[in-house]
Structure 1
């Protein structure tokens, strides 16, 4: 009798373990290859968020969600979350320098400097000036260009780049390059740092030879959500030669002997007049309702890219038709499994990431956190190529918040199950904002963001579907899918 009871108990336990496991087949190449080819085709015109190509891409994504029997997200119809953004361009701008009683020097916006607009015009302002090295404050690295420097209500002048950025073999270069693999992230960090120090404008002295004069570049634009209040300051870029001519009596420090300092008796005044236009854009959202509809996990990727620039189509196969096709492949597999997950799974295709994470930001701003909780946001951005130094094509970057060590451990264990495991670059997203994950980290939501490396075709017309590594995508999606399953299993237990 005791043996029979023991056997029944064992069978019950095994049955419980069986039902607590969630097993959804991993996507194969046939599940995502077609979507990449279509989204990165010339017919999609580069999928710029506020242009025709993006709406054609949105229709294609919505049609796939319909085919996979996904439900439209709460309070929206036909998968489209439509909203408006504003595009701000500069009509005219001025930048003037003066030291003491000397004559005012006016720079030309056509040949001397390049201005990056913000969301509102600024009438002429004058302020004192401070020089802040590379404009970085990194407590974790024991590096601070603002140490003992008061930048409040002043104009901050900084050098472009970072320490030893001309020597790629140096340990300093490698350290800073790991922190700032992308130039855009470095520039955004400098801007945010200047804002946090109370600066009213930022002037960047471009020290690299590739910096082009303003008359050879297109007008810079700034995008924002309609009616949003943005905390930003104008940025002006000038060449080092121009700066040295201006500050010849102030002795701009060399790259080898940087010293942050106030520029005594120097005044700068500036103005910016903007022209703004409003455009409709759309996120595409489809979901599998869970047993507990008050909790949601997001699997997301941005589908927009750069559009057409000077008659060249920027197809954006890796950035980010790859992530979008991966999201759709996962939606297909989860729908076909007929599994009702413990909570909602929202499959999200964000727009306007290239314009400043606007699609995911709009979603977060309009999400009802009083009625629902987001347990995890998974982000896939560029998962189909490899950096030039990744000769074996087996490096994968997975970003999580510092406090989410369990997610790092989970991804490491899952990666080990691959026949050819990746070399994982596990990094902390705290303080970074390189992709749509940042819209969720600002709300304290755990994230996992997947990225396979920068390559020479990044943000060029050569980012084409013919160069995609389909084997790499398949293995990345194995980790994403297994992580999603494991995370959901933990919700069951």
Structure 2
């Protein structure tokens, strides 16, 4: 009996040691030399900032694919065909299919065309008058992907805002279907930080104001609005449309008498089978606002004060008022590509996706935006985890896809395309790890070890596993855990979360060099970057070889 017990103990101990060695082999593969070598190339001037569709982005994609191939990660992209030579064809050879590391897709790049028309039409018994305004004098328009010609009645819809619990909803008692909607920027109480409305509705998080306005557009489009007119009571948009630039622009990193070309001047869209996202958005001068609201009884200042105190919408149809507009669009197609490889698991049909975007802002007016932290750092993280998985020498239970996304900076296009394609192919994607900006220090990070991780709140073991791995492997990382019911925002985990796929997402810090040419290698915190990659590997290895983390904590329904 003792012999059997001793044998059992030795067997279990050996098995655990072997498993531990697998993990240790993976961790040992994540070397500082490897991190530096890969990041120094991706963030070099040779890749010219890796803007989607550019030569620099294609060069970066080729490099990432070559790293996957070097590590032994299999291609998981589009199918291509061999091209036999003429003599080979004559000998009977035929094109053979093979998988590539590239997932190719087209984007529509577009901007307002030369002709833009905007008229405010006032109808009275027996008469109709039209005020015709001039593009870039009294209005500017962000068009959809195709031009439009519309005349429709006007609706004032306050802020066009509704909170998650629908305690305030500007669209609740007004029909905007087939209408042009006039809204204010912001939300109830946004000008009065002492108001109850401000404390209740103030959005939190990275780029909160941007996401707020974006969500308004989506809600209005879903409700059938034909166009949106933005009112900015405290701003003077005409200043931004002025054509002269008398003084040198010494702001930021630009010292020139020429205004820099904005990266987001030309917008992009991921086309589907139907025309989507074609809601034209107008920004107008104060005299256009006065013409629209004349005779309506709406006083913007009083409305904002009342919304802050009473938190009650005041949406209404603007009787006798309509707008006629015509937009034209200049557009072209830009080819883009994700880089995708995978390690086949024992379960071939269950996938974890480890991803991060490799694109950045590119080269603007000769200035290269290298994007060392955003997001060459996260891309290196993806490659290093792929390397670590291969170094274990063990096949994981689940298949793991390693993806470098493009088009994130223009609208999460690469990750959106992958999720859409995976859904059409009925891929069983069970988890997503996203790396975005994992190598810098936030203000006040005196020890240089702070970062945060967002994860799907229901999957509580994701957070618990992360804390345990940091403790068990003595990793110098002060990690703030941020559980979220359905994590959103402007990074590549969002398309997965929208499909109710659990995610966990690492970010080290926002910093003053964000989207500036100064986001360079000299400011990278290499140790923090390495530690975040190690935790990501440990988590992913655990999740790829177990199912415990899938257990969810379901919140009890409110009575």
TM tier, smaller: 0.7 to 0.9
Question: What's the offset of the Cα at 1:75?
Answer: 4.7
1:236-247 equivalences in 2 (<5 Å): 236-238=282-284, 243=289, 246-247=292-293
* Conserved? CA contact 1:113–1:213, under 8 Å: no
Structure 1 contact 301–379 (Cα < 8 Å) conserved: yes
CA RMSD of aligned residues (A): 3.2
Cα distance change of structure 1 residues 28 and 275 upon mapping to structure 2, 3 Å threshold: same
The Cα shift of 1:118 comes to 1.6
Q: Which residue of 530, 534, 541 maps to 1:474?
A: 530
Q: What CA distance in whole angstroms lies between the structure 2 residues aligned with 1:386 and 1:79?
A: 33
**2:87 corresponds to which residue?**
none
The 3-state SS of whatever aligns with 1:199 is coil
| One of 262, 265, 269 as aligned partner of 1:224 | 269
Give the structure 1 partner of residue 64 of structure 2.
Answer: 61
Residue matched to 2:139:
113
Cα distance in structure 2, aligned partners of 1:476 and 1:423: 9
Q: Report the Cα distance in structure 2 between the residues aligned to 1:33 and 1:377, rounded to whole angstroms.
A: 25
Residue in 2 that maps onto 1:73: 76
Q: Is the CA contact (8 Å cut-off) linking 2:450 and 2:477 kept in structure 1?
A: no
TM-score (norm 1): 0.88
Mark the CA change 1:412 to 1:153 in structure 2 (over 3 Å): closer, same or farther.
farther
Contact 1:132 1:260 survives alignment (8 Å): yes
Distance of 1:128 and 1:481 partners within structure 2: 54
Question: In the alignment, what sits opposite 2:110?
Answer: 88
Offset of 1:300 from its aligned partner?
0.6
State which of 41, 46, 49 in structure 1 corresponds to 2:49: 46
Taking the aligned partners of 1:185 and 1:415, their CA distance within structure 2 comes to 32
In the alignment, does 2:300 pair up with 1:252?
yes
- Report if the CA contact (8 A) 1:124-1:270 is conserved: yes
2:182 corresponding residue in structure 1: 157
Q: How does 1:39-438 map to 2 (within 5 A)?
A: 39-73=42-76, 75-76=78-79, 77-91=99-113, 92-101=115-124, 103-133=129-159, 135-140=160-165, 142-163=167-188, 165=190, 172=198, 176-179=202-205, 181-206=207-232, 213-215=240-242, 220-232=265-277, 233-238=279-284, 243=289, 246-247=292-293, 249=295, 250-253=298-301, 255-258=304-307, 259-265=313-319, 266-367=321-422, 372-388=427-443, 393-417=448-472, 418-428=474-484, 430=486, 432-438=488-494
Q: How much does 1:49 deviate? A: 0.8
The alpha-carbon distance between structure 1 residues 11 and 143, as it changes in their structure 2 partners (threshold 3 A), is farther
- Closer, same or farther in 2 for the Cα pair 1:319/1:107, shift >3 Å? farther
Segments of 5+ residues of structure 2 without an aligned counterpart are: 80-98, 244-260, 308-312, 550-559
Distance 2:190 2:481 in 1: 22
Measured in 2, the distance between the counterparts of 1:28 and 1:34 equals: 10
Distance between the aligned counterparts of 1:108 and 1:344, measured in 2? 57
User: How far 1:245 sits from its partner (Å)?
Assistant: 6.5
User: In the TM superposition, what whole-angstrom CA distance separates every residue of 1:429-464 from its partner, at most 9, and x where no partner exists?
Assistant: 627242221222233322212222322222222222
> Which is greater in Rg?
2
Q: 1:138 to 1:405 in 2, by over 3 A?
A: farther
Deviates more, 1:415-424 or 1:301-310: 415-424
Q: Secondary structure at the match of 2:5?
A: helix
| Contact preservation (8 Å) 1:290, 1:341 | yes
- Mapped to 2, the partners of 1:338 and 1:104 lie a distance apart of 74
Distance 2:194 2:479 in 1: 22
Structure 1 SS opposite 2:537: helix
1:388, 1:456 within 8 Å by CA — same for their partners in 2?
no
Per the alignment, residue 5 of structure 1 pairs with 4
TM-score, structure 2 normalization = 0.78
Are 2:453 and 2:479, in contact at CA under 8 Å, matched by a contact in 1?
Answer: no
Once the two structures are superposed, what CA deviation does each residue of 1:52-73 show, in whole Å capped at 9, x if it has no partner? 1111111121222222222111
